[in-house]
Structure 1
Amino acid sequence: MKKCPPNYKLNNVCNPNLYKDIFPYDEIPKISFDKIQLPMDLPEKIYITDTTFRDGQQSMPPYTTKQIIKIFDYLHQLDNDSGIIKQTEFFLYTEKDRKAAQICMERGYEFPEVTSWIRANKEDFKLVKEMGIKETGMLMSCSDYHIFKKLKMTRQEAMDMYLDIVREVLNNGIHPRCHLEDITRADFYGFVVPFVNKLMELSNQANIPIKIRVCDTLGLGVPYSGVELPRSVQKLIYGLRNICGVPSNCIEWHGHNDFYNVVNNSTTAWLYGADSVNTSFLGIGERTGNCPLEAMVFEYAQLKGNTKNMNLHVITELTEYFKREIKYDVPTRTPFVGKEFNATRAGIHADGILKDEEIYNAFDTNKILGKPIVIAVNQYSGHAGIAAWINTYYRLKDDEKIDKKDKRINEIKLWVDEQYKIGRTTIIGNNELELLVSKLIPEVMKKKEERAS
C-alpha cells in the first residue's frame, strides 16, 4: 500500500477529483487493480449495528411509534444479551420518532443501545442534547461529488464545518460517530486521511472515542484483494487503522447493495479490522438496500463458530411481523427469511431428503430458525417428492415415514399427473394433498391428531 507521511496534509484542490477513469458515468464503473495484497486482521470481538429505524425507515412508508417499539423489542430478543447486536440508530426529526426513541431508551436494555443520526449542524445537535442520547452519528460527506456538487464547498470549508460540530459534540460529553458518506468515491489521501487524523487528535484531546462509519453510499466498494482505492474495502479499513491510527472498536462499515456486494463487503470490513458492520433488518434501505442484519448474524456464526446466546428463532418471528403488520413483501426465496428459502421441488432433491435431509439442507433450519424443510409438489416431484412432502409436512419420524415405493404414493402421483395433463400450471396446494392423504393414508392423519392432543 502507498506510504504516506504521518501528518498528511489536506489537498485543497480547486477542481474536484471525480475519478472519471473509474466512474465514467456513461459506462459501468471500472475496477482498477494495483495487485497490492494486505493482511487480514479480524478483531477478537466483532459486532452488528442496526439502521432499521434510520436508513431503513427512509426508504419506505414510515413506521408508526408502536411498530418501532415492537421491532426494537424483537431486536433485543434476538440479541438475547449476547452483546452482538450492539446499537441501533434513530431519526429525531419528528415527534413520532422522538417519542419512539424515548420509550425504547426507557426500556433500559443494554443491547441494542439507542443512538441517533443528525446532519452535521448545531441545530440538529440540539435534538440530541434534549433527548439525552449518549452517541450520535453525523453526516459528513467526503467525496468531491458531494463536497463540490452538493455542498458547494471546498474541501477545507467542508472539513472546517465538520470539525466544528465535532468539537461541539465533544464539549457536551457525547460520543461522535462520523459518517464518511460516499467514501468509495473519495480522495483517500487528499481528504479522508487528513480529516480523520484531525478527528483522532480531537478524540485524544477530549479523551472521548470518535467512531468512523465508513459509508459505501452507492455500493461501489469491492471486497477483492489487489483493488485500488477508493473502491477497495480492504485498503479503506487498513488505511484508517494503520495510517490514521483509528482503533478497530471505532471503525464501522455501512454498505449498500447496488452491485450485489453488500454482504461480502461487510464481511471483508470485519476481516480487515473494522469491529462493527451496520445493517438493517431484511436489508431494507435506500435503493437496493443496506446489508441485511440476518445475513450478518450468519456471517458472524461462520467466522466465530458460534452465535453466543442469540435467539435466531426471533429472525423468523420478526419476519412474520413485517409481513403481517407492515405488509412488507418478503421474496419467497430470500435466504433465511423467505417462506421457501429451504424448499425443494425437484424430485431428485426430494429423494435425497427422504434418505437424509442433510444431503440438501445446509443446517438444521428447524432447530436454528424454527423453519422446517419445505417440499413443494408439482409435475416434477415424482414419487420421492410426494413421499418427502408427507414425511416433512406431518413431521413423521423414523419408522413412521412413508416410503416412496408405497402403492398409495403412486395413487397420489397419478392424481398429480392428471392435474397437469389437463392444463394446471400451479403447484399442488397443501390443502389438496391433505385431502388425498386423509383418504389414502389415514394413519398419518391419526398420528397428526395424536401429536396435537
Structure 2
Amino acid sequence: MKKCSYDYKLNNVNDPNFYKDIFPYEEVPKIVFNNIQLPMDLPDNIYITDTTFRDGQQSMPPYTSREIVRIFDYLHELDNNSGIIKQTEFFLYTKKDRKAAEVCMERGYEFPEVTSWIRADKEDLKLVKDMGIKETGMLMSCSDYHIFKKLKMTRKETMDMYLDLAREALNNGIRPRCHLEDITRADFYGFVVPFVNELMKMSKEANIPIKIRACDTLGLGVSYNGVEIPRSVQGIIHGLRNICEVPSEWIEWHGHNDFYGVVTNSSTAWLYGASSINTSFLGIGERTGNCPLEAMIFEYAQIKGNTKNMKLHVITELAEYFEKEVKYSVPVRTPFVGTDFNVTRAGIHADGILKDEEIYNIFDTDKILGRPVVVAVSQYSGRAGIAAWVNTYYRLKDEDKVHKNDPRIDQIKMWVDEQYRAGRTSVIGNNELELLVSKVMPEVIEKTEERAS
C-alpha cells in the first residue's frame, strides 16, 4: 500500500460543519455523487463481532444475567471455534452486567472474546481494568453535531480528550477500540483523518493495536460507488486504509438500519477493506436496529464460499430461545429466523415445491437451519398445495411422497373448500391438517413415528 504523501492537519474550525447541503433537517438527506470509483479491497480474513449485550440491550428490557450467559453460550456454539464470530461486547455499569461478563469470561471460550464498551471517561476505564478485560470500545463521537452540540467543545479539545483516554488504556495494557460515532456526518479530512493518524502513531509507539470502529450511527451510509464522503461507505473505509494506513484487521464497521441499508453497507465495508462487521442477533438495536448477526453469517457464506465449521442450525435454536425465554417477538417474515421465512402460500409455488423444493426454496433450509420448507394451506392452495404441505410437514422423501392426484388429497381438499365456503378467512392450521392426515392417511403418521424412534 502506497503511503499517503499529504499531511492532513486538524481543522480546528470556529464554526461547525453540519453539511446542511446534504442533511437539510427539514428534508430527506441527499446523496451527492463525485463519480470517483474506488477499488475493492476484500481482506483475506473477515469477521463478525457482536453487540447483542450492548447496543442491542439499549433498545429493549435488559436481559437477565441468566439470559446473557445463555445467549453467550449459543454464540459460542454457533461459532463452533471457527473464529468467525470474533468478539462480543458488554456494558459494565451495573453489578448484574459485570457479573454476567465475569461468568462469560470464566467459560474460557476463545470465541467470541469478551470485550467491553465505555464512555470517554477515565473512571469508566477503571471498570475495564478491574475486570481484567483486554479490549474495550471507547465512545469517541466525531461529527460536529456531537462535538459542538453534545460535548460543547472544540475539535481540538475533543481530540485531545480522546487521545488522552486512548493513551491511558495503552498504559494499562488494554487495547482501545475507538468508536467513531456518527462518522457518516463527520468532517472526514478535517477531523477524522488527523485524529486517526495520531492514534496510529500512538499505536506504533506502544506496539499495541488501536482499532477503529466506523459508526454509521444514523444509518446514513451509502453503498453506491461514486458517492461523496461523508456518506460513502467505500470512501470512509478506503480512506482509513490508504490515508490513515490502518490495517484491515483493525477496522470495523458498525451500522444502523434507518434507511434499510444496514446489510448492504456492512457487506460493502467488508469488500472495501474492513475486516470486521459489528452486529446484534436479530438486528435488535437502537431505533430501526443494528446489522443482524444472522444476515452477516449468510453474507460471509456467499462472499467466502463457506462458513468453516460453524453450526448454522444454532441460529434457529437461538431465535426460538428469544421467542420462548426472552419473550421477544420475531417478525414472521424475517429472513432466516421468522416463522414464515420459507413458507409458501401461492398454489403455483406449492406445485413447484411438490415437484422439487429447489424450485422455490433459497437453499436446503432443513439441512442448514433445521427449518424444512413449509407450505401453508388456504383457499388458494389446491391439491398441489395440500400435497406439498403433507410432504414438507412430515418430511416425506422419494417414494414416500404423496402425489397431488392421490384420492386422499381430494378428501382433505373437500374439507378445506367447505371451510372457506362457510366464510373462513384464515389459513388452515397445522393442527387441523394433522387431524385430517391421521384419519385419511394414517400410514404417514406411522412412518413419521418410525423415523423418530
Answer yes or no: same fold by TM over 0.5: yes
Q: Which sections of structure 2, spanning at least 5 residues, go unmatched?
A: none
Deviation at 1:49, TM superposition (A): 0.3
Counterpart residue identity of residue 96, structure 1: K
Take 1:262 and 1:395, find their aligned partners in 2: how far apart are those partners? 35
Number of the residue aligned with 1:218: 218
Take 2:302 and 2:103, find their aligned partners in 1: how far apart are those partners? 34
Encode CA deviations 1:106-125: one digit per residue, 9 max, x unaligned: 11100000000000111111
Take 2:450 and 2:99, find their aligned partners in 1: how far apart are those partners? 49
Take 1:442 and 1:110, find their aligned partners in 2: how far apart are those partners? 50
Counterpart residue identity of residue 278, structure 1: N
Counterpart residue identity of residue 353, structure 1: I
Number of the residue aligned with 2:318: 318
Take 1:52 and 1:431, find their aligned partners in 2: how far apart are those partners? 35
Number of the residue aligned with 2:290: 290
- Summarize the alignment of residues 316-395 of structure 1 with structure 2, pairs less than 5 Å apart: 316-395=316-395
Structure 1 residues 405-414 or 379-388, which shifts more? 405-414
Deviation at 1:393, TM superposition (A): 1.1
Encode CA deviations 1:86-145: one digit per residue, 9 max, x unaligned: 000000000000001111111110000000000011111110110010001000000000
Number of the residue aligned with 1:199: 199
Secondary structure at 1:53 match in 2: coil
Number of the residue aligned with 1:37: 37
Deviation at 1:221, TM superposition (A): 0.2
Counterpart residue identity of residue 405, structure 1: N
Counterpart residue identity of residue 362, structure 1: I
Number of the residue aligned with 1:172: 172
Encode CA deviations 1:183-211: one digit per residue, 9 max, x unaligned: 00000001000000110110111111100
Number of the residue aligned with 1:135: 135
Deviation at 1:449, TM superposition (A): 2.9
Take 1:222 and 1:277, find their aligned partners in 2: how far apart are those partners? 16
Encode CA deviations 1:396-423: one digit per residue, 9 max, x unaligned: 1211111101122122112111111111
Deviation at 1:4, TM superposition (A): 7.4
Number of the residue aligned with 1:13: 13
Counterpart residue identity of residue 217, structure 2: T
Take 2:392 and 2:282, find their aligned partners in 1: how far apart are those partners? 27
Take 2:204 and 2:446, find their aligned partners in 1: how far apart are those partners? 71
Number of the residue aligned with 1:85: 85
- Summarize the alignment of residues 243-254 of structure 1 with structure 2, pairs less than 5 Å apart: 243-254=243-254
Secondary structure at 2:22 match in 1: coil
Number of the residue aligned with 2:76: 76
Secondary structure at 2:173 match in 1: coil
Number of the residue aligned with 2:263: 263
Counterpart residue identity of residue 326, structure 2: I
Asked if the contact 2:33–2:227 (Cα under 8 Å) also holds between the matched residues in 1, the reply is yes
Take 2:348 and 2:182, find their aligned partners in 1: how far apart are those partners? 47
Asked if the contact 2:181–2:215 (Cα under 8 Å) also holds between the matched residues in 1, the reply is yes
Number of the residue aligned with 1:146: 146
Counterpart residue identity of residue 277, structure 1: I
Counterpart residue identity of residue 231, structure 2: R
Counterpart residue identity of residue 398, structure 1: D
Take 1:270 and 1:394, find their aligned partners in 2: how far apart are those partners? 40
Encode CA deviations 1:361-384: one digit per residue, 9 max, x unaligned: 111001000110111100111110
Take 2:134 and 2:449, find their aligned partners in 1: how far apart are those partners? 54
Amino-acid identity (%):
80
Encode CA deviations 1:299-333: one digit per residue, 9 max, x unaligned: 00000000000000110011111001110000111
Take 2:320 and 2:132, find their aligned partners in 1: how far apart are those partners? 33
Take 1:396 and 1:89, find their aligned partners in 2: how far apart are those partners? 43
- Superposition RMSD on alpha carbons, in Å? 1.0
Take 1:13 and 1:375, find their aligned partners in 2: how far apart are those partners? 61
Take 1:5 and 1:58, find their aligned partners in 2: how far apart are those partners? 42
Secondary structure at 1:54 match in 2: coil
Number of the residue aligned with 2:60: 60
Deviation at 1:5, TM superposition (A): 5.3
Number of the residue aligned with 2:299: 299
Secondary structure at 1:212 match in 2: strand
Deviation at 1:450, TM superposition (A): 2.4
Take 2:154 and 2:249, find their aligned partners in 1: how far apart are those partners? 31
Secondary structure at 2:434 match in 1: helix
Encode CA deviations 1:228-258: one digit per residue, 9 max, x unaligned: 0000000000000000110100000000000
Alignment of 1:108 onto 2:111: no
Deviation at 1:340, TM superposition (A): 1.2
Counterpart residue identity of residue 162, structure 1: Y
Take 2:85 and 2:216, find their aligned partners in 1: how far apart are those partners? 21
Take 1:299 and 1:233, find their aligned partners in 2: how far apart are those partners? 17
Secondary structure at 1:297 match in 2: helix
Counterpart residue identity of residue 317, structure 2: E
TM-score by length of 1: 0.98
